């Protein structure tokens, strides 16, 4: 009796699989002859400098793709303005409009399951980027992808900018010559995977590299230039003449710290960032920012578009890039300092 029941369950499961294959559900990638691709993009915040850089490259990549492949790319880019409900509504609209693919920079990366539910119900693949959903969510469907850059790698490189500088000329960092480099630390959003990891590994790299360090203070400025500027202003008043280094989880906060230093007339303090945004790279060039760690934004956006195009066409041609575990693409970082 028991084995008969088991046999029946097995048979019904088998039928379900056949049915899913026939209807093209269950993640089966069906080839289609597409003349145009509609991509719905939602940014967690449209005023984020780094994401604005990515957005610009994405638009450029879409134009290049149209020219080289002769396939029209319709990019519908929306700003979720830091609100997960707004983003969920945008996703519903994208699906209603018949988008082939969703490219989502989630507001709350731990709430990706809601987005995935909607996408799976509509059989619309999703490429998350920059704010990484938890593994459990990423593993729910074989048409979910993530494009980003490894946080630890960026932090180790950021730390090594400081280590190299200290080894070459310690007096550039140890301004008061007391044998210790006193630093403050500006952190991104506490819920973001990059903040904690970057903070931990930047500091660890300084320790591993033999830089004698002392932390004066630190604070969360949520990736924002103005918040970082306000914090730095307070710290400059609280620790007059003592801050020698400002370690920042991103370039915008580094620029905020520099704004406050300029207002206070504080000189000689070294500041390091991460991202390689347009204003960040300009600040390295003009000597205000000691260095940053940058990714190739065109490569980053190109990866998003390649996956989107691959999914939209049913993977007719070989994927142009290699994905870790079939779903992750991590863009490599590189150090940018003034020569």
- Point out which residues bind ligand GAL (CB under 6 A): 48, 50-51, 130-131, 188, 192, 194, 223, 250, 252, 274-275
Q: What per-residue string of b and e applies to 45-84 under the rule 16 or more CB within 10 Å gives b?
A: beebbbbebbbebbeebbeebeeeeebebebeebbbebeb
Residue 248's SS3 state is: strand
Q: Measure the CA–CA gap between 55 and 67, rounded to whole angstroms.
A: 19
Half-sphere exposure of 170 (CA within 13 A, CB side): 14
Minimum CB separation of residue 191 from ligand GAL in Å reads 10
Q: Which is nearer to ligand GAL, 109 or 327 (CB)?
A: 109
Closest CA to 49 of 233, 240, 222, 166: 222
166 within 8 A of 211, measured Cβ to Cβ: yes
Q: Which is nearer to ligand GAL, 26 or 218 (CB)?
A: 218
Q: How many helices (H) and strands (E) does the chain have?
A: 11, 12
Q: Which is nearer to ligand GAL, 90 or 130 (CB)?
A: 130
Minimum CB separation of residue 146 from ligand GAL in Å reads 13
Q: Which is nearer to ligand GAL, 145 or 300 (CB)?
A: 300
140 within 8 A of 126, measured Cβ to Cβ: no
Minimum CB separation of residue 231 from ligand GAL in Å reads 16
Minimum CB separation of residue 50 from ligand GAL in Å reads 3
Q: Which is nearer to ligand GAL, 229 or 250 (CB)?
A: 250
Q: Which is nearer to ligand GAL, 100 or 275 (CB)?
A: 275
Minimum CB separation of residue 204 from ligand GAL in Å reads 19
Minimum CB separation of residue 253 from ligand GAL in Å reads 8
Q: Measure the CA–CA gap between 44 and 85, rounded to whole angstroms.
A: 11
Q: Measure the CA–CA gap between 332 and 200, rounded to whole angstroms.
A: 19
């Amino acid at each position: 009796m028991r084995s008969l029941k088991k046999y029946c369950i097995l048979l019904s499961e088998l039928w379900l699989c056949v049915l899913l294959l026939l209807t093209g559900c269950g993640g089966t990638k069906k080839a289609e002859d597409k003349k145009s691709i509609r991509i719905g993009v939602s940014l967690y915040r449209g005023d984020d400098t780094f994401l604005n850089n990515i957005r610009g490259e994405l638009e450029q990549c879409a134009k290049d793709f149209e020219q080289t492949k002769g396939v029209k790319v319709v990019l519908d880019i929306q700003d979720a303005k830091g609100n997960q409900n707004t983003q969920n509504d945008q996703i519903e609209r994208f699906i209603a409009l018949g988008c082939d693919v969703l490219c989502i920079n989630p507001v709350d990366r731990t709430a990706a399951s809601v987005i995935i539910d909607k996408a799976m119900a509509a059989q619309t693949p999703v490429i998350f980027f920059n704010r990484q959903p938890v593994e459990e969510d990423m593993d729910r469907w074989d048409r979910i992808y993530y494009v980003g850059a490894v946080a630890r790698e960026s932090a180790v490189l950021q730390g090594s900018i400081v280590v190299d500088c200290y080894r070459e000329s310690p007096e550039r960092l140890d301004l008061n010559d007391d044998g210790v480099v006193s630093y403050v630390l500006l952190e991104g959003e506490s819920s973001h995977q990059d903040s904690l990891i970057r903070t931990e590994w930047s500091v660890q790299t300084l320790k591993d590299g033999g830089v004698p360090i002392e932390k004066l203070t630190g604070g969360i400025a949520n990736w924002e230039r103005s918040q970082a500027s306000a914090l730095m202003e307070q710290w400059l008043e609280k620790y007059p003449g003592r801050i020698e280094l400002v370690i920042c989880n991103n370039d915008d906060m580094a620029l905020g710290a520099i704004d406050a230093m300029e207002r206070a007339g504080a000189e000689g303090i070294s500041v390091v960032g991460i991202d390689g945004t347009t204003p960040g790279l300009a600040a390295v060039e003009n000597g205000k920012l000691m260095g940053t760690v940058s990714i190739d934004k065109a490569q980053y956006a190109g990866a998003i578009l390649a996956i989107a195009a691959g999914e939209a066409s049913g993977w007719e041609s070989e994927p142009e890039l290699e994905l870790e575990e079939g779903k992750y693409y991590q863009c490599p970082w590189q150090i940018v300092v003034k020569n």
